[in-house]
Chain A
Amino acid sequence: MKKQKLVIIGNGMAGMRTIEELLDRAPDLYDITVFGDEPYGNYNRILLSPVLAGEKTVDEIMLNDESWYSDNDITLRHGEGKRVVEIRRNRKVVITNDGSEEPYDRLLIATGSKPFMLPLPGADLQGVIAFRDIKDVDTMLAASKKYKSAVVIGGGLLGLEAANGLMKNGMSVTVIHLLDSLMEMQLDDAAADMLKKSLIERGLKFEMKASTKELIGKKRVETVLLDDGTRLDADLVVMAVGIRPNIELAQKAGIHCERGIVVDDTMLTFDPSVHAVGECAQHRGIAYGLVAPLFEQAKVCANHLAQKAFATYKGSTTSTKLKVTGINLFSAGDFKGNEDCEEIVLEDKKAGIYKKIILQDDKIKGAVLYGDTIDGAWYFQLMREESDVSEIRRTLMFGQSHVGDSGTGGIDIMSMSDDMEICGCNGVSKGDISYAISSKGLFTLDDVRAHTKASSSCGTCTGLVEQILMATLGSDYSASPSEKALCKCTEHSHDRVRSAITSNELKTIPDVMKFLDWKNPDGCASCRPALNYYLLCAWPMEYKDDGQSRFINERAHGNIQKDGTYSVVPRMFGGLCTADDLRAIADVSDRYSVPEMKVTGGQRIDLFGVKKEDLPDVWSDLSEAGFVSGHAYGKAMRTCKTCAGANWCRFGTKDSTGLGVKIEELSWGSWMPHKFKFAVSGCPRNCAEATIKDFGVVCVDSGYELHVGGNGGIKVRVTDFMTKVETEEEVLEWAGAFCQHYREDAHYLERTAPWIERIGLAPIKEKLEDDKVRKELYERFIISQKAAQIDPWKARTSGKLKKEFMPIKDLVS
């Protein structure tokens, strides 16, 4: 069959992103031709500012060079003569200015915007330009070598970046702005004032509340005349007063346009064979002028072009950052607010710090940060996810490092030198990361992880990497986590996959993959374990666990070590043990020459360095002595740490050890989205560290305080207090119900701490406080435990499953 012809007008960021996404989904569906009137491949327009400032080269900002087109069998027609001047919809052809024609079956318009040029007398003089493309940058760089004075008209994001760049090239620069406050689209007055002050300190000059009357010169511009009669020397004038969606072609072809080309939620125009994406498109009344929304549009459009029609675009929340090295400024969402909003403001003029957060109904609506933008990414995330922030409101302003976590809070990326190490696990420096971002065309956290390994191991440095992305690109384009696709094999988010499983009664991994149109028939090492867990959680009594979709630790029931051996941890309920238990463990250690034993931080004993082929026998011996697996390796209930408690301790108020054993007996074996730890302390001295556990109990004289969402790992997080109950039975019921709610709601590999931070404590509390809901959750937990509390060790000490642990052939002995 002959392939359909897809023609793209516009060789820019949105159009080419759509093609990349399309090739990813349906590489062979179309015969693709791209028209572009710039004589380059596709480049990262955002980074023109650093190119102008001399911080990057043009080569470094190429996203797809010309060989990318030929490698992917795409016909690129670009440069002189290849501007599309007409779309003939009745014949389905486009016509270029050199007269050639190209037929299409489907057309994608991605013509971007045109800089708006003020219609001033003298606007056609030499040396009067916009700031939009490589040609403009070349003109500015050439002018800065020959001339001295420049004027930038417009004190918005683009104007200031242009002015800064020209100044860095040695020119004397004046910015003319119509209002008395800079960047009024992104900043409130207080932040704008601080910004102006520091730009003046750097050497920029400003004419505020000023409007230009005329540009004067013979052939080349020489003087700018303002309305109030002021004259400014100008050998170069850059107009940065705004952009207009480039809709001329579409309009001429009779496609419905308002401000931009009107598209629906699938990025289709009023003509069913014509799509539009990027700055030229108008969706639900908005034409976006930033890259992040365009990328989201590109995804949706590609989906429909690939005929996998289910994705829809619903509009975007945007954030911006000024890309002037040394100035930290961040703005997102609705930063002005209205009468229904509340403001939290922190201002320290001397230190040059200003922060404002706008709240509405306990959710962040917008933020402006100046001077200290470390938490920009965090606020933006809370905003996009619409998290309930009522519980952290008191410390919200002080940033993520103050919600009880000892991550990387407080480090300012801007003041770091290039050789400083960002990722301690993989030894990646700040310079490595920023170089990779520009030279490899990376936009998201995931891109950076794949290419540099930074933040791909323990994740502590994620915040720093986000800051570098922000500083380099003006934003971090990672899709909002709640909508984020589960992995590269699918478009669907964790939540959608989970609801599809339950509402459509999908009961095997292949069923899920088929129903949701998985891109790779076998999935990958990220989605298979997630799907296996989701199915197990949804259908506890029916689902047949798929061992091949589990990470090796959960298949071998031990922790894989760097040399390929395993560690084995038998369960010791509540940390209690007998002399016989210890003897049995000692015997196993002798019998299998275990190289090392250690008491773990989870109050039990670890046997290190067990060979894979010895595992079944080690288990069998431990099983015989009455032990079950400790799941020290699994995304599962791990331990219940206890203290001495009322039986022995002079301060103990309750039998914390006994309660700990009961909790562990209730919950052992349970598979979870991530690991899950309990602790019970006998009094508020809290020797069992219950307030950094997923579920912690602190006994007090009058009952039991229940705390949730603690984490002692990479980011220390103190628990939130949930409730106080009076009896052990109630503790067990709340514990089981909490586990079940977490099991049913959280994303795979999301521990309770980030889960609670994502959805907020309030909705969880609300559920559990409802007696009926709590009892139902508890009941479901008990049912799933019936299937889960089968000792995995016993099942694998003989027969076929044992064989799996032996070599298939031994050519050595």
Chain B
Amino acid sequence: MTKTKNWVEIGPLKDIQPKGARIIKHVDGDIAVFRTSDDKVFALDNKCPHKGGPLSEGIVHGCRITCPLHNWVLELETGLAVAPDEGKAKTWPVKVEDDIVYVELDDDVVMVEG
């Protein structure tokens, strides 16, 4: 199967609180969708590169998230851990159009949904 990408509608932006996150249930593991205080939106695997903590439950500050389990800080844009920690959470492309959030997922995943 060739993997094509597909923008999937997630829901209205207002359903995510500023400095908050909601999760998408996904066959390959949950994806966390974050909204910052200035309404930027990011999507990352909901799995901290340290010991798999649920990033969606952390505290959002600027374009960063602090993991709730042991306080690693990750850049929302790149998923990279802030030094001196090292690691990366997978990031997903996101866009907001007419106040609706979309995340670009692999096509085969969308087929599961269907």
Please say whether chains A and B are actual partners in one complex: yes
Which A residues touch B105, using CB under 8 A?
A: 811
B26 on the A face (CB < 8 A): yes
B59 on the A face (CB < 8 A): yes
Apart from A522-B60, A556-B57, 9 more pairs, CB < 8 Å = A450-B84, A521-B37, A552-B57, A562-B51, A803-B15, A804-B20, A808-B16, A808-B24, A809-B10
Interface pair A549/B59, CB less than 8 Å apart = yes
The 8 A CB mask of B72-96 against A (1 = contact, 0 = none) is: 0100000000001000000000000
Interface pair B8/A811, CB less than 8 Å apart = yes
Given contacts A524-B61, A525-B66, A562-B69, contact A807 B18 (CB under 8 A): no
Which A residues touch B113, using CB under 8 A?
A: 811
Given contacts A564-B54, A803-B15, contact A520 B61 (CB under 8 A): yes
A812 on the B face (CB < 8 A): yes
Bound-complex Cα distance A556 to B62 (A): 22
A88 on the B face (CB < 8 A): no
A635 on the B face (CB < 8 A): no
Interface pair A523/B22, CB less than 8 Å apart = no
Across the interface, A812 reaches (CB within 8 A) one of B17, B26, B68, B73, namely B26
Interface pair A551/B51, CB less than 8 Å apart = no
Bound-complex Cα distance A147 to B33 (A): 70
Which A residues touch B26, using CB under 8 A?
A: 811-812
Bound-complex Cα distance A808 to B26 (A): 11
Interface pair A548/B60, CB less than 8 Å apart = yes
Which B residues touch A804, using CB under 8 A?
A: 17, 20, 22
A135 on the B face (CB < 8 A): no
**In this complex, what residue of B is CB-closest to A808?**
B22
Shortest Cβ distance from residue A452 to the other chain B in the assembled complex, whole angstroms: 9
Shortest Cβ distance from residue A500 to the other chain B in the assembled complex, whole angstroms: 20
Shortest Cβ distance from residue A43 to the other chain B in the assembled complex, whole angstroms: 21
Interface pair A525/B71, CB less than 8 Å apart = yes
A528 on the B face (CB < 8 A): yes
Interface size bracket, B side: 35 or more
A to B CB contacts below 8 Å, 13 in the list: A520-B62, A521-B37, A522-B37, A524-B61, A547-B17, A548-B18, A548-B20, A549-B19, A552-B59, A807-B30, A809-B25, A811-B113, A812-B27
Looking at B22, B59, B73, the one whose CB has the most chain A CB atoms below 10 A away is: B59
Bound-complex Cα distance A260 to B57 (A): 54
Q: Which of A772-813 contact B (CB under 8 A)?
A: 803-804, 807-813
Interface pair A521/B73, CB less than 8 Å apart = no
**In this complex, what residue of B is CB-closest to A440?**
B84
The 8 A CB mask of B50-68 against A (1 = contact, 0 = none) is: 0101100111111010101
Given contacts A548-B17, A811-B113, A812-B112, contact A451 B84 (CB under 8 A): yes
Bound-complex Cα distance A522 to B61 (A): 5
Bound-complex Cα distance A529 to B68 (A): 13
Which B residues touch A556, using CB under 8 A?
A: 57
Bound-complex Cα distance A547 to B19 (A): 10
Q: Which of A638-679 contact B (CB under 8 A)?
A: none
Q: Chain B: residues with CB nearer than 8 A to chain A?
A: 8, 10-11, 15-20, 22-27, 30, 33, 36-37, 51, 53-54, 57-62, 64, 66, 68-71, 73, 84, 105, 109-110, 112-113
Which A residues touch B27, using CB under 8 A?
A: 811-812
Q: Which of A499-544 contact B (CB under 8 A)?
A: 520-525, 528-529
Which B residues touch A812, using CB under 8 A?
A: 25-27, 112
Bound-complex Cα distance A747 to B16 (A): 32
Shortest Cβ distance from residue B15 to the other chain A in the assembled complex, whole angstroms: 6
**In this complex, what residue of A is CB-closest to B15?**
A808
Bound-complex Cα distance A521 to B26 (A): 33
Shortest Cβ distance from residue B96 to the other chain A in the assembled complex, whole angstroms: 13
Bound-complex Cα distance A67 to B40 (A): 34
A697 on the B face (CB < 8 A): no
Across the interface, B62 reaches (CB within 8 A) one of A522, A529, A803, namely A522
Which B residues touch A522, using CB under 8 A?
A: 19, 36-37, 60-62
Closest 9 CB pairs of A and B: A525-B66, A808-B22, A548-B19, A552-B57, A525-B59, A564-B54, A522-B61, A810-B25, A552-B68
Which A residues touch B15, using CB under 8 A?
A: 803, 808
A560 on the B face (CB < 8 A): yes
Shortest Cβ distance from residue A511 to the other chain B in the assembled complex, whole angstroms: 15
Across the interface, B59 reaches (CB within 8 A) one of A457, A551, A810, namely A551
Bound-complex Cα distance A688 to B35 (A): 47
Shortest Cβ distance from residue A709 to the other chain B in the assembled complex, whole angstroms: 27
Given contacts A548-B19, A562-B69, A808-B15, contact A528 B59 (CB under 8 A): yes
Shortest Cβ distance from residue A664 to the other chain B in the assembled complex, whole angstroms: 28
Which A residues touch B25, using CB under 8 A?
A: 807, 809-813
Interface pair A560/B51, CB less than 8 Å apart = no
Looking at A522, A549, A803, the one whose CB has the most chain B CB atoms below 10 A away is: A522
Which A residues touch B22, using CB under 8 A?
A: 804, 807-808
Which B residues touch A562, using CB under 8 A?
A: 51, 69
Shortest Cβ distance from residue A92 to the other chain B in the assembled complex, whole angstroms: 38
Shortest Cβ distance from residue B31 to the other chain A in the assembled complex, whole angstroms: 9
Interface pair B112/A809, CB less than 8 Å apart = no
Interface pair A548/B24, CB less than 8 Å apart = no
Bound-complex Cα distance A548 to B35 (A): 11
Bound-complex Cα distance A560 to B54 (A): 10
**In this complex, what residue of A is CB-closest to B20?**
A548
Which A residues touch B16, using CB under 8 A?
A: 808
Looking at B30, B53, B61, B69, the one whose CB has the most chain A CB atoms below 10 A away is: B61
Bound-complex Cα distance A520 to B61 (A): 8
Which A residues touch B60, using CB under 8 A?
A: 522, 548
**In this complex, what residue of B is CB-closest to A565?**
B54
Which A residues touch B37, using CB under 8 A?
A: 521-522
Bound-complex Cα distance A524 to B59 (A): 8
Bound-complex Cα distance A152 to B62 (A): 56
Interface pair B68/A811, CB less than 8 Å apart = no
Which B residues touch A521, using CB under 8 A?
A: 37, 62
Shortest Cβ distance from residue B53 to the other chain A in the assembled complex, whole angstroms: 7
Looking at A549, A562, A804, A809, the one whose CB has the most chain B CB atoms below 10 A away is: A809
Interface pair A524/B66, CB less than 8 Å apart = yes
Interface pair A560/B69, CB less than 8 Å apart = yes
Bound-complex Cα distance A524 to B72 (A): 12
**In this complex, what residue of B is CB-closest to A436?**
B84
Bound-complex Cα distance A547 to B26 (A): 27
Which B residues touch A803, using CB under 8 A?
A: 15
Interface pair B57/A548, CB less than 8 Å apart = no
Which A residues touch B68, using CB under 8 A?
A: 551-552, 560
**In this complex, what residue of B is CB-closest to A548?**
B19
**In this complex, what residue of A is CB-closest to B84?**
A451
Interface pair B23/A807, CB less than 8 Å apart = yes
Shortest Cβ distance from residue B46 to the other chain A in the assembled complex, whole angstroms: 8
Given contacts A552-B68, A560-B69, A562-B51, contact A808 B57 (CB under 8 A): no
Bound-complex Cα distance A414 to B52 (A): 37
Bound-complex Cα distance A562 to B112 (A): 29
**In this complex, what residue of A is CB-closest to B17?**
A548
Which A residues touch B36, using CB under 8 A?
A: 522
Shortest Cβ distance from residue B62 to the other chain A in the assembled complex, whole angstroms: 5
Bound-complex Cα distance A272 to B62 (A): 37
Which B residues touch A560, using CB under 8 A?
A: 54, 57, 68-69
Which B residues touch A813, using CB under 8 A?
A: 25
Across the interface, A552 reaches (CB within 8 A) one of B18, B23, B58, namely B58
Across the interface, A564 reaches (CB within 8 A) one of B8, B11, B53, B59, namely B53
**In this complex, what residue of A is CB-closest to B47?**
A564
Shortest Cβ distance from residue A529 to the other chain B in the assembled complex, whole angstroms: 8
Across the interface, A807 reaches (CB within 8 A) one of B24, B51, B57, B66, namely B24
Shortest Cβ distance from residue B52 to the other chain A in the assembled complex, whole angstroms: 8
